[in-house]
Amino acid sequence: MATLTLTEQNFEESVLAEGITIVDFWADWCGPCKMFAPVFEKSSEAHPTVRYAKVDTEAEQGL
């Protein structure tokens, strides 16, 4: 399943939607975030019934 990109505009409707949502808050400068990204993506492929989403903390500081 594709990973959603969350923004202030779609955060509530996406996260509060029916079902399970797992959110990864990340930043370009974050080394551990970069190491975790492939694990997150692989997990999203292995669990298609779960919604996976990401938030760029630099671009979406309001979240």
Residue 1 has pLDDT above 70, yes or no: no
Catalogue all structural domains in the chain, each as residue range(s) with its CATH number.
Answer: 4-56 (3.40.30.10)
**Is residue 24 annotated as a catalytic residue, yes or no?**
no
| Backbone φ/ψ region at 32: left (φ over 0), alpha (ψ -120 to 50), beta | alpha
Q: Which of 62, 2, 5, 54 is nearest to 30 (CA)?
A: 54
Q: Which helix (H) or strand (E) holds 22?
A: strand 21-26
Tell me what pLDDT residue 41 has: 95
**Is residue 63 annotated as a catalytic residue, yes or no?**
no
The pLDDT tens digits of the residues spanning 8-56 come to 999 999 899 899 999 999 999 999 999 999 999 999 999 999 999 999 9
50 within 8 A of 19, measured Cβ to Cβ: yes
Active-site residue, from 22, 23, 33, 37: 33
Model-level pTM?
A: 0.86
Active-site residue, from 15, 22, 30, 37: 30
